[in-house]
Each structure stands twice: as C-alpha cells, then as structure tokens.
Chain A
C-alpha cells in the first residue's frame, strides 16, 4: 500500500467508527478493553488541524487539557489529578525539553482498563500559530505508536507492531525491583537513581538533581546502609523510607533498598498515594 494513502485511510476509518457520546458532550475514544489508550489519544490529536482545545478525561478521574493545532501540541492548559504537570503548565509554548514530561502526562491520563473521553472546544490562546509546539508525529515516534492504523486495534491480524507504553499500574503488576518501583510511583518521582546491583546506573529526572543525589550517595552510601539496617528486622532486608515535611505536599526524599541495589529519589507532591502499592509490587 502506498504510504501516502495511510493517513487518508486512517481518517476514513475513524470517521466510520461509531462514536459514543458521554454526558457533557465528550466522546469515548478508548474503551476499558483497549490495549493502547495513549495511541488513541495521539490519533485524536493527529486528526486536529484547526486550533482546538482538547480535554482528555479518564473515567478514573485524571484529566489533561491541551491546545492542539496543525497536528501539533501547542501547550498544556489544564491538568487535574496528574502529578508533575507544573513545568508544562507554566510554559506558553511546548518545546523539545518538555516532551518527556508531556508523555508522562499522556500516560497518566490514558490509563489502561479505563475509558478515555475527549471534549473539544475553542483553543485557549494563540492557536493560530501552528509552527510551534511539539509535533504529534514526534511524540508518536517516541512512544512507538503508529498514527495511521487503518483497522481496529483489537484486530490482532491487522495490528501493526505497536509497543504499548506501560502505565504505572501495569509496571506495578508486571515489573519488580527498584526500577519497577520508580516506574510505578510515576511522575511524582521527579528525580531518582539506582546504585549497586544489576540495576545500577539507572536514573531519571533533571540532570542537576540526579547529579546531586549521585554525589550524596557517593559520600553517604555506607551510612545510608546503616540507617536502613537500623530500621530493618535484619541487616540487608528490603526497606523503603520516605522522609518529608508533610508527605502529602511539597517535596519528600525516598530511599529504598532491595538486595545490593539502593534507590534514592525526590518525590514532588503527594508521596503517600502511589508509593505503598509501588513498594508492594517491587517486592513481588
């Protein structure tokens, strides 16, 4: 098939798909059984040529509002129930440096096993400037999503090789260890690193924060092990500790040990909601 026809076929396919409207005028774009709600979200954005405000709402509660035009995400104008949206919300024009945080927001709202709805309205501001923002195609590439699927996603014969980006809940269900813990805590864990063991060297977050944590661990790893041992039933036991002023807001420090690996990180916002489940999953 000529690749040039794929976007047209994809658009025709979406037009043929019967829409289900939810109260308030929203449209269901991903069912609870859908394997890849982030892909559906990206496809909706990719079909948006004229400037529109798209509000994506998960049946689980979180919502994300974006100004979209010309197959580009111009800016984030609203985020509810999502951690780590501050930088994107604060910027008037999304740029390359925002793409990782934006993707985490997508994954936070497009949850597997939850319906995803979209509400469309007039663009917030400056929507006519379509030469700015992040191209949907770029975001789709990063997530290994094919925007031009011409058949339903639930048809295994016609499915393209799509790698489903794991949600925190999926990771919690399927991945163990400290990397799994970090992923399951989600975007609230704004910076982290793992030292020791098979997962050594894994990091995420702003470089200056990670580098500060690295420096701390380089100096204090032994004393941190002793602190963990004092709090464990036996030396070397698995342990996770969160220390904060309030725990439910502001910043908290998280330190965790499983075997020879130690994770050190910074949690922004509520450190109590996701960590317990993430820790249980990490110990499986």
Chain B
C-alpha cells in the first residue's frame, strides 16, 4: 500500500480526522496529505513547523529528563486536536493530523502508529 493509500485508510476509518499528512521533519516538508480539510501550502508548512515545535524545548527537555525521548504529541486547542507522531526508527518521519474533538483518541493514536510504521518500513 502506498503512502496516499495508507493515509486515506486512516481518514476513512476516522471521519473525525480532517487531515492526515506524512511529513519529513528534517526538511520541513509535508510529503503527502489526505482528508476533507482544504488547505494551502502555507497551512501545511505551518502544520509541519508545529510538529517540530511540539518536539522541541522546553517540554521536550522535561520529557527527556522524566522518561526519555518523546515520539508522540497531542495538542488540543479550543476547536481542534492536532496529533503529531514521529517514527521510532526514523525520527524525521512523522504523521501530522488535525482532528475534531469527537475523535476516539486512543484508537486513533494506535491506528496512526501502525500506519507510520508501515510507511517508514516500506520506505
């Protein structure tokens, strides 16, 4: 299954997922995205930057000190939930997701983890 198909499967399984994007955090680029949310390139760039910010100081250092390097971040605002997940083996590979508050977060995190693993291993 290609990257687009993998991302599409996530969107299909979780209608509350409005955007699921595969990013290369090292080059700050969204390589592929799926979902009903219409976006501009600037929007995708900003989403990628937010993923990098999530895995940055000061909370990153606190996490490392407390339990080790974090690979998952959930950012909740007033309207949406953003989920950022980095690959354990290729930390530059990440999924950046925008969801409605109604999402089944535990199930969604589990799904995107397996999706990211399959994308990373296929690459």
Tell me, yes or no, whether A240 is within 8 Å of chain B by CB: yes
The complex places the Cα of A40 from the Cα of B106 at a distance, in Å, of 32
Interface-lining segment among B22-30, B73-81, B90-98, B115-123: B73-81
Min CB–CB distance B45 → chain A (angstroms): 13
Task: Find out whether the CB atom of B54 lies under 8 angstroms from the CB atom of A276.
Answer: no
Task: Find out whether the CB atom of A237 lies under 8 angstroms from the CB atom of B78.
Answer: yes
Interface string of A14-58 (1 = CB under 8 A from B): 000000000000000000000000000000000000000000000
**Contact partners of A223 in chain B: CB under 8 A:** 57-58
Interface string of B59-85 (1 = CB under 8 A from A): 110110011111111111110011000
Tell me, yes or no, whether A239 is within 8 Å of chain B by CB: yes
Select which of B67, B71, B74, B78 is within 8 A of A241 by beta carbon: B74
Task: Find out whether the CB atom of A241 lies under 8 angstroms from the CB atom of B56.
Answer: no
> How many residues on chain A are close to B (CB under 8 Å)?
36
Task: Find out whether the CB atom of A216 lies under 8 angstroms from the CB atom of B78.
Answer: no
Task: Find out whether the CB atom of A272 lies under 8 angstroms from the CB atom of B74.
Answer: yes
Select which of A237, A241, A276 is within 8 A of B73 by beta carbon: A241
Which partner residue on chain A sits nearest B72 by CB separation?
Answer: A247
Task: Find out whether the CB atom of B53 lies under 8 angstroms from the CB atom of A227.
Answer: yes
Interface residues of A in 135-180 (CB under 8 A from B): none
Task: Find out whether the CB atom of A243 lies under 8 angstroms from the CB atom of B105.
Answer: no
Select which of A243, A270, A272, A279 is within 8 A of B70 by beta carbon: A243
Task: Find out whether the CB atom of B59 lies under 8 angstroms from the CB atom of A227.
Answer: yes
The complex places the Cα of A183 from the Cα of B96 at a distance, in Å, of 29
Interface string of A248-263 (1 = CB under 8 A from B): 1011110100000000
What band does the interface of chain B fall in when counting residues whose beta carbon is under 8 Å from A?
Answer: 20 to 34
Task: Find out whether the CB atom of B106 lies under 8 angstroms from the CB atom of A273.
Answer: yes
**Contact partners of A270 in chain B: CB under 8 A:** 106
The complex places the Cα of A246 from the Cα of B69 at a distance, in Å, of 10
Tell me, yes or no, whether A125 is within 8 Å of chain B by CB: no
**Contact partners of B58 in chain A: CB under 8 A:** 216, 220, 223-224, 227
Select which of A227, A241, A273 is within 8 A of B76 by beta carbon: A241
Select which of B53, B72, B78, B82 is within 8 A of A245 by beta carbon: B72
Tell me, yes or no, whether B110 is within 8 Å of chain A by CB: yes
**Contact partners of B110 in chain A: CB under 8 A:** 248
Tell me, yes or no, whether B9 is within 8 Å of chain A by CB: no
Chain B interface (Cβ < 8 Å from any Cβ of A): 49-50, 53-60, 62-63, 66-78, 81-82, 101, 103, 105-106, 109-110
